[in-house]
Chains A and B, each alone.
Chain A
């Protein structure tokens, strides 16, 4: 007999990791009261609790605590739209308690096929808005700062380009076109180190690099680099290839299989929370395994969404070139880089990083700097700057930082 939300028991969570099991058991009465179109999605987050970032844990704790305290009638009203969705018996019969990610994949496919995806989307948006209104975030310990470098050789071969950088960001900040690049990278690293010293909390400061990462003086900054993950990417691609060769599973099943991979299965050791995050980047991100520019953009997005750091530094590096059909057919050639394409990718990735920062609390007080590394072009956004303007002042990065931090 399939498990329904109403007959959930603490022992149903026996296979959960320790902290997740404790949390699910503590709130089992609440979980029994939630509709099936919503509950497995909550469990999908909850089952990962042991590897969640502090900010994610806070959000989940706050959500559960708020829902548990709400009156039953209020809770029914909050979930009425989810409860009205019509689900097939086959979904109810899946092991949604222990495999909520698999349930989510099937639910998504069913909602699209049954034309209920729009109703679900509306219900989800309304729910999040109500939750946000009822559980306002805590004040930030310091104003949020985002730094993006389009760097490490991301430029055309001859050093010049007609591509207009920061086109999408210019309406929101000040475009500096006489930046003194001297010592710029060190300035950025110093700013990050200084912010960590002022607020030394794990996962609140991040450095993501699309190539080889610079060494940081402070080990407390969470660091992710495309190059350092090379062996993990190779192991993962090997696993994907083997799964594909069996030709027995579709993309949803493939995604579910990859999502269950553990860091130790691809040779990782060390901080389990950070390792799980990095594996997620490579198994859930599309293109992150192949293109370093995609990796940096997605890693920045996920770090902002999940860890909600007060400092995020993302540095784009040249990605490999996508070879045309004719070249592929001519046989294997050494893989080359695509500096011009990477410049465009990095510029768009910078814009998306700023957009994702805007979705976090304290966005109106946050600051952002994007710099074409080693060049004279940068753009800064901050509460004290006049949006949509241009500055021809000869400034170095430290001077620009002093205006936004």
Chain B
């Protein structure tokens, strides 16, 4: 990192920290590090983890800055006071949603084509978890927004890979399969698989077999699933419902949910981007409430929330502000992460720069597996 980048990343972090301090009365993690390590609160091996990522980052201007706070009331008032908040999470990889989310899941910067249907090169967190801890396939799941995320559950790494990954549910693809059996209609919204390139609508291949397989797992009929979709405002709402069913039916120890509504920012409509942020804010609070209300999860689940990366700043001439994440500027590379749950210190801000690839080794330390091929480092502040 150059000196200029370092200073700029720190200023991004500082503005976030200053606002959080004033808004929530949060203290600095550094002042608490002399206290007993959090591991004294560590729970026995029943621990579960839910990771929520935002595909399509939300900028500070629309979230943590004073003008944006109205968009994230649930994060600010319900979740951050319970969380350890990392205010400077840097993503040094490719800023495309599939490849970046795959990098989050492997703890290594993947370099494949963002729009290609390929598995990650490095082992995923699901493979480390299942192989090291000898966990069954039903214990690790991904609920992801679009067809492009179909291969995220399992890498192409020869030491891991086949048969060791997570089950992946793509609710939009299921819905396409469900609808295709009931006649044709205008489902253009569903067919928009990726907001990153609105010029390009990859056709969602609805797989009837997959639909029935997942229906069996979730104990949800095709009719019920379709009815549910009819009452959902957005694909993310559908994803969260599916995740909830998974929690109720299989109670996986490792559940990864990727929200994507806010990425409609690529369409250039600022108001729709704000709607997406507000919905994600509400859904994060809903997921936390689900965790607290489900006996298999209450009191033993750590939740992580983090955007995959940011978006371009208004001051970057090469970009078009909130619309894209193409410049690779500091704002688009710097984001945040919060962790909350038993054993995690509450009301704490960690200012030091960390990287988005640090998530997987941190999960490894929490759950007891080794992320041996990850380039990240465990975040000691929450271990």
Task: Please list the residues of chain A having a beta carbon within 8 angstroms of any beta carbon in chain B.
Answer: 109, 112-115, 117-118, 121-122, 167-168, 240, 244-245, 247, 250-252, 254-255, 258, 283, 285-291, 293-294, 297-298, 301, 319, 322-326, 328-332, 338, 340-345, 347-349, 351-352, 355, 359
Contacts and interface: CB of A to CB of B under 8 A. Distances in A.
A247 to B, nearest CB: 6
Nearest to A340: B271
Contacts of A247: 202-203
Interface in B172-215: 179, 185-190, 194, 196-203
Given A332-B185, A352-B320, A244 B202 contact: yes
B268 interface: yes
A341 B200 contact: no
A404 B82 CA distance: 51
Given A247-B203, A326-B232, A326-B233, A301 B320 contact: yes
B189 A254 contact: no
Given A325-B237, A326-B231, A113 B94 contact: yes
A294 B267 contact: yes
A342 B5 CA distance: 36
Q: Which 7 interchain pairs have the tightest Cβ spacing?
A: A294-B268, A287-B267, A341-B271, A251-B197, A344-B271, A287-B268, A348-B270
11 contacts: A113-B94, A167-B67, A244-B200, A247-B202, A250-B116, A251-B199, A255-B197, A287-B323, A290-B267, A297-B268, A324-B232
A343 B67 CA distance: 17
A contacts with B: majority SS: helix
Nearest to B327: A121
B230 A329 contact: yes
Contacts of B186: 328, 331-332
A329 B229 contact: yes
Contact of B324 (A286, A290, A328): A286
Given A114-B111, A118-B328, A319-B269, A255 B320 contact: no
B324 to A, nearest CB: 7
B314 interface: yes
A293 B269 contact: yes
B189 A323 contact: yes
Nearest to A349: B270
B317 A359 contact: yes
Contacts of A319: 269
Contacts of A286: 197-199, 266-268, 323-324
B68 to A, nearest CB: 11
B105 to A, nearest CB: 18
A117 B189 contact: no
B198 A328 contact: no
B282 interface: no
B3 to A, nearest CB: 12
Contact of A322 (B200, B201, B269, B323): B269
B201 to A, nearest CB: 5
Nearest to B113: A109
A325 B172 CA distance: 11
Contacts of A167: 67
Interface string B300-329: 000000000000001101101111100111
A328 B115 contact: no
Nearest to B321: A352
Interface in B317-344: 317-318, 320-324, 327-329
A348 to B, nearest CB: 4
A254 B199 contact: yes
Given A254-B197, A331-B186, A324 B234 contact: yes
A122 B330 CA distance: 12
